[in-house]
Amino acid sequence: MRTFFQDDTWQSGLEEIRVRVGQPIEFCYGSDNCYLIGKEKEQMFCNEKDYRRWEKDLYHASEADLREMLNYISNYSLYAYKEEIKQGYITIEGGHRVGVAGQTVLVDGKIAGISPITFLNIRIAHQKCGCARKILPLIRQRDSIYNTLILSMPGAGKTTLLRDSIRALSNGEAYGIRLKVCVVDERSEIAASFHGVPQNDMGPRTDVMDGCGKAEGMQLLIRSMSPQIIAVDELGAESDFYAVEQALNCGSRVLGTIHAGNMKELSEKPYLKRWMERRLFQRFIFLEKETNGRRKMQVYDEHMERITC
């Protein structure tokens, strides 16, 4: 494994590395998956199409491999990540997030830890500057933005689009004016903060509340940072929706993401249905990941009429 990882030819376009005890190591790219082949073969990995052909030669991760990877990831101080592990992930320098799973340790019916950890999902942090360029003119309202929701199924690029929108709004690239943007980054996925410092370019007028629950974070930022725009990822809990309404009542604009694949799913979510009826949000951006790995965007207004992108 060390020999393989020293070669950087496999890194271009990589989105995830999935490691499971007793199973082949999987490298997930935008439109294909590849698998690590054991040593002394003429090639280092095979793609999904050739999986059956190479199945017997694929490298299977051992418990020792995962222990070594976890020690390296945590700089041999796994105990320092105890609280993060309870949440199911570790954020490391560079903003990469390592999802963990395995045997849960319960105390009074609550998760106190995961041991042993037998599954890893290393999500590679990517910042795609410029990917929001097409949609920014469509969400502009004078010198600010319309309240906007970005919607898609998992893995379609909601967070990537949100991140680039924040950067462009903050540095003036979007409209020629630099807006104050406050970000609630519950799982360090937007800013990819390491010890509180964003690893991604979030723009010069962006403030980040890292590792904080969305509802609590929005309330704190409204009180302390006077945001023009509040950005938040993966709204879902009832408390999140209540906090969004508070932010709107205080005059902040909201730029957020939600899991929903189509208009039907959108209207089936009680809070979203209420927001749509009250027209609290004026822009809805639907993202879809196509089979070739590209993203298709569709933008709608508060009347659910399509806006040309």
Calculate ∠ Cα 233-127-18, nearest 5°: 80
Pick the most confident of 116-130, 218-232, 279-293: 218-232
pLDDT higher for 60 or 43? 60
Q: Are residues 18 and 43 in the same domain?
A: yes
Considering the domain boundaries, does residue 129 fall inside one?
Answer: no
Owning domain of residue 26: 2-123
Q: Are residues 117 and 188 in the same domain?
A: no
Considering the domain boundaries, does residue 78 fall inside one?
Answer: yes
Calculate ∠ Cα 234-239-242, nearest 5°: 100
- Number of helices and strands (H, E) in the chain? 9, 19
Full-model pTM = 0.79
CB-based contacts of 156: which residues, under 8 Å, 6+ apart? 287, 288, 289, 295
pLDDT of residue 187: 82
Q: Are residues 119 and 150 in the same domain?
A: no
Q: Are residues 141 and 119 in the same domain?
A: no
Q: Which of these three, 123, 154, 177, is where a domain ends? A: 123
Considering the domain boundaries, does residue 246 fall inside one?
Answer: yes
pLDDT surpasses 60 at 121: yes
pLDDT of residue 141: 93
Q: Are residues 288 and 144 in the same domain?
A: yes
CATH at residue 21: 3.30.450
pLDDT surpasses 60 at 179: yes
Q: Which of 10-24, 164-178, 203-217 has the lowest mean pLDDT?
A: 10-24
Provide, rounded to the nearest whole percent, the portion of the chain with pLDDT above 70.
93
Considering the domain boundaries, does residue 130 fall inside one?
Answer: no
CATH at residue 203: 3.40.50.300
pLDDT surpasses 90 at 196: no
pLDDT of residue 215: 93
Asked whether the beta carbons of 193 and 199 are under 8 A apart, the reply is yes
Q: Are residues 287 and 160 in the same domain?
A: yes
pLDDT band at 116 (very low <50, low <70, confident <90, very high): very high
Q: Are residues 117 and 143 in the same domain?
A: no
CA dist., res. 234 & res. 159, Å (int)? 8
Q: Which of these three, 89, 123, 157, is where a domain ends? A: 123
Provide, rounded to the nearest whole percent, the portion of the chain with pLDDT above 90.
50
pLDDT band at 217 (very low <50, low <70, confident <90, very high): very high
pLDDT higher for 6 or 27? 27
Q: Which of these three, 98, 123, 148, is where a domain ends? A: 123
Asked whether the beta carbons of 206 and 181 are under 8 A apart, the reply is yes
Considering the domain boundaries, does residue 128 fall inside one?
Answer: no
pLDDT of residue 31: 72
Q: Are residues 84 and 143 in the same domain?
A: no
pLDDT higher for 40 or 109? 109
pLDDT band at 278 (very low <50, low <70, confident <90, very high): confident
**Structural domains counted in the chain:** 2
Instruction: Please state, in angstroms and as integers, the Cα–Cα distance from residue 157 to each residue in 84, 152, 164, 186, following that order.
Output: 24, 8, 11, 17
The whole-number average pLDDT for the span 229-249 is 91
pLDDT of residue 4: 53
Q: Are residues 258 and 221 in the same domain?
A: yes
pLDDT higher for 292 or 168? 168
The whole-number average pLDDT for the span 188-217 is 91
Q: Are residues 290 and 144 in the same domain?
A: yes
Asked whether the beta carbons of 1 and 59 are under 8 A apart, the reply is yes
pLDDT band at 192 (very low <50, low <70, confident <90, very high): confident
Considering the domain boundaries, does residue 170 fall inside one?
Answer: yes
Considering the domain boundaries, does residue 283 fall inside one?
Answer: yes
Q: Are residues 34 and 165 in the same domain?
A: no
Q: Are residues 93 and 175 in the same domain?
A: no
Considering the domain boundaries, does residue 219 fall inside one?
Answer: yes
pLDDT surpasses 70 at 214: yes
What are 22's two structure tokens?
């007793």
